[in-house]
Structure 1
Amino acid sequence: MSKISNQQGRNVQKSGVSGYTRAVGNDELGQLLSRVQACVISNGNELEKLLIDRCSTIDNIDIFIKKVTTSNINQGTFLCTKKILKKTQDYKDVIKGIEPDMIIFIVSNYRLCKIIELKDGDTFDTKKVKGEKANLVTFSEKFGAKIPFSTDYYVCCFNQNNKEIIREGMKNEFDLEHIMTGKELCQLLNIDYQEIINIRKNDMEENFNYFIEELLKIPEVLEKINQIIATSENK
């Protein structure tokens, strides 16, 4: 999980005070909350990195598909990242303007290609969901027509194990068969799901401690907390 301590937050000199500062009326607290928000936003990238580091990844998707086609690769599960996909020459016209988070290729007696949109959260606005589903469907159809794999698409909300809740959070745009949990994704990639969870739990604890420490460094906050404690003790 991303660390609050690594986040800069809003550049106040360049962009002015954040909405958090306007909401709470304190510059230091507003900036701390801005750093928390930056941490939340970067969690998706951090999750993706954790998964990629534990997978058999593809260095060149054009060469990989040619090797599968010529039976030089007959077995395994392989991950193609967005960065590698962008470098394709054979499929650049097909994928133009659409970049799914990851593509998983399963090679065995059968060949499967799973187009994945990876989410750290599970609730999104309708316009965003509709656009992402349209892109996944288009990519799956166009790319799938060009490769020797049975192709389908999925949205994976890594931290939510209830597919009904995911479907509601995705505004009922995705059918259950196109929804994947984090545990299912890890099983697909032959990754230890619990290891990922444990790593992120440790980071959560570090974030909690850091946030409280930084919070107490703000004089107005510390003063207010002491007032609340004193009032509570006198009741």
Structure 2
Amino acid sequence: MKVIDLNCDMGEAFGNYAMPNDEKLMDYISSVNIACGFHAGDPAVMQQTVNLAIKKGLSIGAHPGLPDLQGFGRREMKISPNDAYQLTLYQIGALGGFVKAAGSRLHHVKAHGALYNMAAKDAALAKAIAQAVFDFDPGLILYALAGSKMIEEAEKLSIVTASEVFADRSYQDDGLLTPRSSDYALITNDEDAVNQVLGFALKQKVKSVNGNHIAVKAETVCLHGDGKHAVEFAKLISEKLEKEGIMIKAPAI
């Protein structure tokens, strides 16, 4: 039986818990990436989201980002590899503390936004992030863009990786995501997004914005949880995968 993980970024609120989609979305995914306070989230939200994820039986990951609350971590910043190492290690530790206190264990790490995209192409940043994961716990899984420098650098350290693809993001011919600044960055039609996910899961391929079919290693699919119809979309994806006989399950740690 084919198996694929569905992950979602969560806990991206502040103060009183204000992400109504999160709990409902958890019914249709297998792993969750929880913001650690730099691009979004705070201690209260981290604790609440961790507890919800444990209740739902999900695999929990730290979701470190750039220190950019105003820009939601989606603006590139000029940082050194050591900066990347420090901010990644710091945030893993913060989220890991809440997970441990709740009687569970951290499963994976996935960088957020601009940090994720920068490290996908920059080997030095990728190496620093992978090293931070390894130094915190070499048994953690690193979720990273399929075919990226982060996958390469993590494998050099013998870190288990999960090659990530995106349900609602378009792809370039080189297998990288279309920049969000482009008009074609997001896939807004549900049918197109579902077909893209099925292509990942069944054929390990994706159709680029130029119409070319690109081979891609797809082990975990990111579903964005901040859209208006995020819950309905997650339910649709889940049902389509199950109909095709594909098991939704997080990678084994």
TM-score of the aligned structures, taking structure 1 as reference length: 0.35
Going by fraction, where is helix more abundant, 1 or 2?
1
Whichever of the two has the greater Rg, that structure is 1
Higher RCO structure (Cα 8 Å, ≥6 apart): 2
